[in-house]
Structure 1
């Protein structure tokens, strides 16, 4: 059968008076089935017109079409119709998304159906491809893309798709919307043109949830009205808007963070001086985005349309490789970003001598994820452009799964590989946290200075007694304040500073000799938060450190009206945090990494907040927690000077 197909291909190619079919075109046509005639009609069209450049462009698309596909079916159609209805309404906040997702799941009829995977080669029509090629050529030779060679034009402007979206006629829709913004004679470079259009996209709503309700790439017409979406959705939006106007823009990927959970997708513009500048569609302009993640990224890859000879998929032969690296359209571009200070390193690997390639993995709470690959040289492997300040674990891939080898290591900024091999020497450690706090919360700490905790006997606090004033930035741990010789007060409150908007999680007032917090009617004076709808003053007195008081104004306050006055002898509070501290009554288990496995140091139930002591902890090891009470695990850490350092 294969021989018959090859004979047919040669006959068809000869009919178009073209050179012998390429291996890429052969692969595409082998997937096309009854759609082969449509694909050859594209070639015949430009052969007949005598346009050799467009004929070469058509060849590029067809030679790289194999394997490209999109999800379709009733479940996808239903989901897109729902998202369209949501996007056509007003702004959406992250807090609204759970109810939106719940609404979809309740009304969806086909949610449990599997999407149908449709191959481009089997479904795209000649008319669709011809229009795409003609429209792409129509926007070439603009001031911002005259630096592109033909091969660069094919990669940066020509492709009919940007991701796994359902194919649509998107170029005219987006060009008519965005190209009029580029009429100024002062716009000469790709970076300038990119900035102009991205400034328009920045006017869009931007709300990025942790996940979508259905993992389907949104089609172009939906993105025109986007109200919320994953980072990849906004990157796709920028691609459609800019490529439709002939701006050479691409998509780049961080396969997984090196010091946090999740992956990232963003944009890059290929400027007129042949330099590359990262940006975030609808969020940040060129050179303003990636630098804030410079200590988080292990590797950066560009998603291309054409197959990349340098990709692992094009070099691995018959050797099985991890799923991420099976994509032949990946280009390692980590070296394009000098601020990352990437290093070339050589590390040992052991076992499976038949494996030609090895991998560097970063930590995920349930597994190690490969983010870099290298070709083995005996029992070692050299990895190029690896980002520092991240813990890695070498691995091989055999029998369809990753197999960790050697010890994990921390790559420092000097390029030194600091192996984390547990020693026989041990120490006793008092540990207090389960993970680091988010940078966005650290920025709030200065706003507490000037805030007060007070008591009074008048409801307007005109006779206020101040128990505690925030004279310095607080910590994210529980803080206890002793109050002596205080008079009985009926009203108690937390008053934020002239820069603060609440952000207090819990406040507990205790009377002399009592271990039970005082109770009363919740009172307050504040403008309710526009961002956090359920963050009124009640949140400070519910005993739950995950909820918090948040307001739309400063000098806001929330408190208690007691049934009768009481003298406060002690106050305990905790500010808004990630609730990453050890919690009294919760059960924890500490592990350290010994080569390829986690070894338990035992379970303990915390007897107090923010403190848990472990004895016999090995030096120079990599650690992680499991919180058995909440059934979760977050990140890894090392211990330096008996303190946790998180990665």
Structure 2
């Protein structure tokens, strides 16, 4: 009996110190910092009134094991803190008690400008020591102190209980929307919520609108004022001081800082991101504000570079950065030893594509012998591999299928899985289209060749489709006119030609209706659209002397072998050049731009000659992305056959490319190996390129929810 009593005495204290399994796992990884984390747990567990705070502490410590830093910012002294405090206090006098909507008015912009000049003079006299960066691996469990965690938790609960924007949250929602001290897994820097709230609360409180827009206006104005005042070029990321030291256009740091600050203030917010776009190569992070209504508010929102067709320009999928591990993330679903794409190799990831697009559940046959639990849908991405992960699905080996929960309509997918660390295709590329809008059913449209052994000849004109907004800009050039004059002020101007239809997005030639010598020539944009969209203008003549030292005209585009044969040896025109001795400003003027990708933006484009000369032809190119075939560039054609395969490489001699003996009826990809990033797959039918998302597989605007 005594032995049993002694055993209970030994067991009970041990049992009382036992924490949840996930917390114990983190504590075992904390090393010498274990005592600091246990201090937090004991602090909240001993008081019954703090039961929720204890659960919050357990949540943070449990999931802390998934987070680490790869850099630490070391400030050599306190000068940056002191200067921030001084400028912070001056900001009150600079802005006064103005309304949110007046923050960016001209009056206050000028007022702030003079404040900032005075501040910069003081800083120049007493320079700020900028931080240095220490690189390494700094796991959160080994470096977070009890003081940091306790004050952070206290601030989070205060914000949750007092903020009208967060009070409706359940505890489960609070744990992800307010409580975390990190917004993005793996981001090198994190801050204490109490400190962030101390820095920003006073200025966010001054919002007169008291809504998300008002808070964002205050946040942007304050950070811009401090940054402009400090004017320190710190090009390495340093956590929250990224907002004030120099300017960094890094969407990750912008989203991370904004999310942490607004959470500390009591506004529920998350960081969502995409890993690719439908029509360009990149990824992007942005903040999404969560409220009790169906309203969707964003900060630094994932943008669509073509505003006329956002449904084709946006991302194919979206993911949420979470603090806690997600049971439905690929990391938690994968088999032991299963390889994952880099983007998905974290448990703190939640797919939220359904919050942005109309999605559906799709099952695909899968009979591959693999130990894996997951398969993936990849989308096109202009990278060396040609694809990027879009979503994952669970393999059901009993039914020999894989189920994907978040498939977006009218998006080209490449079904794939990993064999070891090699990505392997298991089905043909496909997209889904609504079969019946009332029932919500869909049909799978596979892209497969009708004749797998047939070969064909392809005549290619572009690597990327014409952009709708550039075509719209070209339409605005209708009514633009070319004039000649012999007086510098064009008081004796003569109309030579008026643009009557939208120019093509390449070189074209106009013939002046009057041909006599003029010393001055110009292009005048139409009055309703006075910003010229011209990239290159060439005034041509065939009447010249050797002393004129004229250069050959840029050849007109040749789009077919037949035209190439007809035009061979016919070019006789030379382009006039300005009198730069008398008019040196025309040496680098927009009239003589050598790239089609940059417009002049001027209302008039003038050329002044040394002597009057006749203009026989006018060749122009409006602003365009130069995604047509460019002479001298090196191109590679690929076609899809379970992977991207090489069909040949050519250097362009004309504005078309001729590829012979190419497998027909495939999905093709033309790469410009010389320059440029914009490329898009296409089909080839009736001697035409049909680009995805523009000419075929066209997304519907109704499928874009935001």
Q: Normalized against structure 2, the TM-score is what?
A: 0.73
Counterpart pick for 2:605 among 555, 558, 561 = 558
* 1:369 match: secondary structure: strand
Does the aligned pair in 2 maintain the 1:522–1:559 contact within 8 Å?
no
* Corresponding position of 2:27: 29
Aligned residue number for residue 516 of structure 1: 574
Q: CA deviation at 1:110?
A: 12
Q: 1:311 aligns with which of 306, 326, 329?
A: 329
Report the more deviating stretch, 166-175 or 469-478: 166-175
Shift of 1:292: 4.3
Distance in 2 of aligned mates of 1:362 and 1:119? 33
Instruction: After TM superposition, give the deviation of residue 174 of structure 1 in Å.
Output: 3.8
Select which of 305, 318, 335 maps to 1:300.
Answer: 318
* Residue number among 112, 136, 142 corresponding to 2:156 in the alignment: 136
1:236 match: secondary structure: helix
Do the aligned residues in 2 keep the contact of 1:220 with 1:240 (CA within 8 Å)? no
User: CA 1:382–1:470 in 2, change beyond 3 Å: closer, same or farther?
Assistant: farther
Partner residue, 2:259: 239
What do residues 90-133 of structure 1 show as CA deviations (whole Å, max 9, x unaligned)? Answer: 99xxxxxxxxxxxxxxxxx999x982121110001000000000
Residue 452 of structure 1 corresponds to 481
Q: 2:511 aligns with which of 473, 477, 482?
A: 482
Q: Which moved more, 1:614-623 or 1:482-491?
A: 614-623
Contact 2:590-2:600 at 8 Å conserved across structures: yes
How many Å separate the matches in 2 of 1:32 and 1:452?
A: 74
**629, 634, 638: which one pairs with 1:582?**
629
CA contact (8 A) 1:422 1:593 kept: no
Does 2:251 match 1:250? no
- Among 493, 512, 534, the alignment partner of 1:464 is 493
Question: How far is the alpha carbon of 1:352 from its aligned partner?
Answer: 4.2
Distance apart, 1:276 and its partner CA: 6.6
CA distance in 2, matches of 1:361, 1:427: 28
Q: Secondary structure at the match of 1:391?
A: coil
After superposition, the Cα gap between the structure-2 partners of 1:283 and 1:629, relative to the gap in structure 1 and judged at 3 Å, is: closer
- Does the CA contact (< 8 Å) of 2:271 and 2:287 recur in 1? yes
Shift of 1:42: 0.5
Q: Is the 8 A contact 1:410 1:417 kept in 2?
A: yes
Q: How does 1:202-217 map to 2 (within 5 A)?
A: 202-203=220-221
CA distance in 1, matches of 2:692, 2:580: 38
Aligned counterparts, 1:96-111, within 5 A: none
Q: CA deviation at 1:458?
A: 1.9
Distance 2:618 2:390 in 1: 48
Contact 1:205 1:226 in 2 (8 A): no
CA 1:469/1:247 → structure 2, altered by over 3 Å: closer, same or farther? same
Query: Structure 2 residue aligned with 1:637, among 667, 670, 682?
Result: 682
Q: Partners of 1:454 and 1:52 in 2: how far apart? A: 82
Question: What is the distance in 1 between the residues matched to 2:44 and 2:526?
Answer: 70
CA contact (8 A) 1:587 1:606 kept: yes
Select the residue among 497, 502, 505 that pairs with 2:535.
505
Partners in 1 of 2:297 and 2:644 — Cα distance? 38
Residue 212 of structure 2: aligned partner: 194
What residue number does 1:65 align with? 64
Whether contact under 8 Å (1:16, 1:47) holds in the other structure is no
- 2:119 is aligned to none
Aligned to 2:7: none
In the other structure, the counterpart of 2:377 is 360
Distance 1:482 1:171, change over 3 A: farther
Alignment partner, residue 561 of structure 2: none
2:595 is aligned, of 526, 544, 552, to 544
Partner of 1:401: 422
> Which shows bigger deviation, 313-322 or 293-302?
293-302
Distance 1:356 1:137 in 2: 39
Contact 2:509 2:618 in 1 (8 A): yes
TM-score normalized by the length of structure 1 = 0.79
Greater shift, 636-645 or 302-311, is seen at 636-645
Contact 1:625 1:633 in 2 (8 A): no
Q: Is the 8 A contact 1:540 1:547 kept in 2?
A: no
- Residues 586 and 605, structure 1, Cα contact 8 Å, conserved in 2: yes
Give yes or no for the alignment of 1:341 onto 2:399. Answer: no
Larger Rg: 2
Per the alignment, in what secondary structure is the counterpart of residue 160 of structure 2? coil
**Could you tell me how far 1:197 is from its partner in structure 2?**
0.9
Report what 1:417 is aligned to: 444
Match of 1:327 in 2: 346
SS at match of 2:25: helix
Q: Helix, strand or coil for the counterpart of 1:444?
A: helix
Residues 1:260 and 1:246: Cα distance change in structure 2 (over 3 Å): same
1:169 corresponds to: 192
Alignment partner of 1:48 out of 40, 46, 49? 46
What is the CA distance between 1:186 and its match in structure 2? 8.3
The residue correspondences of 1:601-616 to structure 2 (distance < 5 A) are: 602-609=648-655, 611-615=656-660
Shift of 1:175: 5.0
Q: Deviations over 1:563-617 (max 9, x none)?
A: 32222222221112211111223332322111223231x33443433x3344555
Aligned equivalents of 2:473, 2:402: Cα separation in 1: 44
Instruction: Tell me how far 1:500 sits from its aligned partner.
Output: 3.4
Residue 196 of structure 1 aligns to a residue whose secondary structure is: helix
SS at match of 2:654: coil
* Alpha-carbon distance between aligned partners in 2 of 1:156 and 1:258, rounded to the nearest angstrom: 29
Cα distance 1:23–1:482, how it changes in 2: closer, same or farther (>3 A)? farther
What 5-or-longer segments of structure 2 have no aligned partner? 1-9, 88-108, 113-129, 228-232, 436-441, 543-570, 694-706
Instruction: Please state whether the residue corresponding to 2:666 is helix, strand or coil.
Output: coil
Q: Which residue of 2 aligns with 1:280?
A: 299
Q: CA deviation at 1:372?
A: 0.8
Q: Which stretch of the first structure deviates more once superposed, 237-246 or 129-138? A: 237-246
Name the stretch that deviates more: 221-230 or 198-207: 198-207
Q: Output the CA distance in 1 between the equivalents of 2:396 and 2:348.
A: 25
Tell me, which stretches of 5 or more residues in structure 1 are unaligned?
1-10, 92-108, 188-192, 208-212, 529-534
Whole-Å separation in 1 of the counterparts to 2:171 and 2:259: 19
* Matched-pair contact (CA < 8 Å) for 2:433–2:445: yes
Q: Is the 8 A contact 1:454 1:493 kept in 2?
A: yes
The Cα of 1:215 is off from its aligned counterpart by 10
Aligned-pair CA distance for 1:349: 4.5
**2:179 and 2:257 mapped to 1: Cα distance?**
16
Displacement of 1:12: 12
Pick aligned residue for 1:596 from 620, 623, 643? 643
Query: 1:147 aligned to 168, 171, 184, which one?
Result: 168
CA displacement at 1:618 relative to structure 2: 4.7
SS at match of 1:56: helix
Corresponding residue SS for 2:506 = coil
Q: 1:624 aligns with which of 662, 666, 669?
A: 669
1:426-475, Cα deviation, whole Å (9 max, x unpaired): 66544322223556545533442332233222222223333332334333
Indicate conservation of the 8 Å contact 2:156/2:193, yes or no.
Answer: no
Partner of 1:64, secondary structure, is helix
